[in-house]
Amino acid sequence: MNDRIIRLRAEMERAELDAVLLKTVTAIRYFSGFTSEDASVLITKNRAVLLTDFRYTIQAKAQAGDCCEIIEVSGLAHREKLKEIVETENVKRIGFEEDYVSYEGYQAYAQFGAELVPFAKELSLLRIVKTEDEIACLQKAQSMADEAFYELLKVVKPGMTERRVAAELEYICAKLGSEGPSFETIVGSGPNGAMCHAVPGERKLQEGDLVVLDYGCMYNGYHSDMTRTFAVGKVDPFAEEIYNIVLEAQTRALDALKPGITGKELDAIARDYITEKGYGECFGHSLGHGFGLLIHEEPRASVTGDTVFTEGMTITVEPGIYIEDKFGVRIEDCCVVTKDGKLNFAHATKELQHI
């Protein structure tokens, strides 16, 4: 973790900050290794301090003791100790995670006597390029998701509710070693599949349905993200036509994914093909997003995504077509940009599966 703190301090210097206060579990984990959100981490020019209470001091020493001073403190004394360190270190400007600090928290930190400077975006960009260790964790998370897809196809059947399918899938993922779902599992059958983020309900899978399945596994805190669409029995030719359009759009985008392309350019490759086929208005979301310790991270593959992809950045590629009152189709893989192209973590078949 020390190398990450070194990079953070370099960014602090560029932003003319004397300290950065970390409060989210993601930032705390990334820069210290500590995995609980019941803590604060204050990085100054000379010190890295992790404050937590009695319940977590042993854990903190084990996970973050190599890079942080561990201070046990609880209750109101927590903020008083932070204030004391700020004063002792002569901190004048503190970067903070403005997207996550409450109004009450902001008022409390304002009493430290230092200027509070929004710094959330800069912290997120420090995580945008993944290390070899991070990539290995992401691969492991996706390998569990791949295996889970095949295991689910063995047990899912007509008459099951969407909620039951989601429960079966999450149980399978847990048995395979997932620390938990990457996000709320999406199961949309038949017309429900036209809702991009369908919430699994009591609708039962029926003959002729297309079913959109969007889920992910977690390993060592890192998330995978994949979508597969499968069929219940025989589906009509129109549904197969739409499926093949989405698959071709994804294939074209995956083939183009390499260093130097922007998120906007990648999005256009899939979007232009779907538009050419007459369904542009049925693809209303962005093509993809980065992923890591959070399921949605920078960069973005969207109509406004101006980040130039470089080696080590992650991105999902997930075009979709959604026909209201009929069905939806989405196919998603999660990838990392490599020196010469991309590594696709997802290996589960994209040939339309029929149960």
Please give the Cα distance from 298 to 170 (Å, whole number). 26
Report the amino acid identity of residue 215: Y
Q: Which pLDDT belongs to residue 44? A: 97
Please give the Cα distance from 328 to 97 (Å, whole number). 37
Q: Which pLDDT belongs to residue 142? A: 98
The residue-averaged pLDDT of 245-249 equals 98
Residues of the chain with CATH 3.90.230.10: 132-344
Residue 75 has pLDDT above 90, yes or no: no
The CA-CA-CA angle for residues 183, 120, 216, to 5°, reads: 15
Q: Which pLDDT belongs to residue 138? A: 98
Residue 1 has pLDDT above 80, yes or no: no
Work out the pLDDT band at 268, boundaries 50, 70, 90. Answer: very high
Work out the pLDDT band at 111, boundaries 50, 70, 90. Answer: very high
The residue-averaged pLDDT of 144-166 equals 98
DSSP state of 138: H
How much is the pTM? 0.95
Could you tell me where the DSSP H helices lie in 37-119? 57-64, 77-88, 103-110
Q: 269-295: per-residue pLDDT in tens?
A: 999 999 999 999 999 999 999 999 999
DSSP state of 33: -
Return the percentage of the chain with pLDDT > 90, whole number: 98
Q: 319-351: per-residue pLDDT in tens?
A: 999 999 999 999 999 999 999 999 999 999 999
Residues of the chain with CATH 3.40.350.10: 2-125
Residue 37 has pLDDT above 90, yes or no: no
**Residue 151 to residues 110, 139, 146, 169, 346, Cα–Cα distance (Å):** 53, 19, 9, 8, 15
Q: 178-191: per-residue pLDDT in tens?
A: 999 999 999 999 99
Q: Which pLDDT belongs to residue 2? A: 87
The residue-averaged pLDDT of 48-68 equals 96
Residue 192 has pLDDT above 80, yes or no: yes
Q: Which pLDDT belongs to residue 26? A: 96
Please give the Cα distance from 73 to 105 (Å, whole number). 17
Q: 200-241: per-residue pLDDT in tens?
A: 999 999 999 999 999 999 999 999 999 999 999 999 999 999
Q: 8-20: per-residue pLDDT in tens?
A: 999 999 999 999 9
3-state secondary structure of 343: strand
Classify strands 342-344 and 333-337 as parallel, antiparallel or unpaired: antiparallel
Return the percentage of the chain with pLDDT > 70, whole number: 100
Residues 306/264, Cβ–Cβ less than 8 Å: yes
Residue 129 has pLDDT above 90, yes or no: yes
- Architecture of domain 132-344 in this structure: Alpha-Beta Complex (3.90)
Q: Which conformational region is residue 312 in: left (phi greater than 0), alpha (psi within -120 to 50 degrees), or beta?
A: left
Element (H, E) at 344: strand 342-344
Please give the Cα distance from 14 to 83 (Å, whole number). 24
DSSP string, 196-250: TTPPP-SPBP-TT-EEEEEE--EETTEE--EEEEEESS---HHHHHHHHHHHHHH
- Architecture of domain 2-125 in this structure: 3-Layer(aba) Sandwich (3.40)
Residues 6+ apart with CB under 8 A from 53: 38, 72, 73, 74, 75, 78
DSSP string, 250-286: HHHHHHH-STT-BHHHHHHHHHHHHHHTT-GGG--S-
The average confidence (pLDDT) of the chain is: 97
Please give the Cα distance from 186 to 283 (Å, whole number). 18
Residues 6+ apart with CB under 8 A from 231: 209, 210, 211, 239, 352, 353, 354, 355
3-state secondary structure of 177: coil
Work out the pLDDT band at 53, boundaries 50, 70, 90. Answer: very high
Angle between helices 237-256 and 263-276 (to 10 degrees): 150
Residue 76 has pLDDT above 90, yes or no: no
Please give the Cα distance from 199 to 185 (Å, whole number). 8
